[in-house]
Amino acid sequence: MLPSSKVGDGGATFLEALFTATSAVCVTGLIVVDTPVYWTGAGHVIILGLIQVGGFGIMSFASLLGVFLARRMGLRSRISTAAETKSVGFGDVRRVLLGVLLITLIVESATAVLLTTRFWLHYGNGVGDAAWLGIFHAVSAFNNAGFALFSDNLIGFVGDPWICLPISAAVIIGGLGFPVLFELRRHYRYPRKWHMTTKLVLSGTLLLLVLGTVFITLVEWSNPATLGALRPGERILAGFFQSVMTRTAGFNSVDLAQLDPVTLLAMDVLMFIGGGPAGTAGGLKITTFGVLFFILYTEISGGTAVNVFGKRLPRSTHRQAISIVLLAVGLVTCATMFLMVTTDFGLDRVLFEVISAFATVGLSTGITAGIPPAGQVVLILVMFAGRLGPVTLASALALRSKPLYYEYPKERPLIG
């Protein structure tokens, strides 16, 4: 809200500042004002800092500062950070944090160098401006934020693979999740040693990227407002780019408001699924979707236990996956109904906006700024809940667990 963060006289309003700050720290990317025009360089730096802290993890970042400043971590910090980074034990938290920092620096630096070179040599930006553009978009991409320093996001680079592909690579790597990246670094030659999480995330990511690319490209191929005006190679690149961005990144290289409603619905599904756990991606997470798929497959095939890649899933995992989905569906449904009551936008655009907020994606058909203040507050809450996690939020609201020392007799209702 500082006047130095906003272009012109005065500072941003409380709601504008709150919405932007929430979107940045929740690595979402939804905006109510034009980022490159409304905010000054100081505002851009604040947004970038919030993206970096939000993507790294609030507790992880605080614990890392403790490691560097105090050279030690308390038990409470170890427990909180282990939960956030999905560490196996409390003893390896420090090593995990340093590993997260190393991966973050490597990916962001490599992406920034490629983007800076392109902005400098091809688009004629000065070295300083090109470096700033490269760094900002690299950090935004790896953290799956989707904030851009161009008013049309990345529509101006729809046919440029030297911009789209590095950003896509950073988005995919960040969306895999740090546990998967750690295991790939240690056992990339030995797939048999991979944890079930790694196998689910890699296979699910590849499948969803391919299906999303094919579907979006085919449906929008002849749409003159999106892919139809591009050359064949550029159409495939744009289709791939938008499929990648549904992994919770939020950049767009075409005008999403001009997409076919069928494409919007498909992107709703991809955004809702999301990326890998314990990373910069949002959504239900691929592992949750994978567990639900195998539960369904087991039930249809008449199995007695849910087996995934030669391992049996514990029943507690079944309950957790089902709880996450039901809470997520309930949250998205309630927010969508509220926005439909308070706005004049159609179901397809409102649902797209709400799922984008919940999955911390940031893709929008351009209606965010036109939503009334009450609706924007709802989106802020949805972004926060989506980043925190439905089950975590529900557990926090419950305040404490109540252990039961007895069980009721079993009785089975009719299902279906």
Partner residues linked to 39 by β-bridges = 6
Instruction: Output b/e per residue, 281-316; b: 16+ Cβ within 10 A.
Output: bbbbbbbbbbbbebbeebeeeeeeebebeeeebeee
Q: Residue 75's pLDDT is what? A: 47
pLDDT in tens, 178-234: 888 888 888 888 888 888 989 999 999 999 999 999 999 999 999 999 999 999 999
Q: In sequence order, what DSSP letters do the residues of 293-335 get, joined into one string?
A: HHHHHHHHHT-SS-EETTEEPPHHHHHHHHHHHHHHHHHHHHH
Q: Residue 273's pLDDT is what? A: 94
**In Å, what is the CA distance from 266 to each residue of 6, 217, 319?**
37, 12, 27
pLDDT in tens, 295-321: 999 999 988 889 998 889 988 888 888
The pTM assigned to this predicted structure is 0.89
CB 280 within 8 A of CB 309: no
- Give the H/E segment covering residue 353: helix 347-358
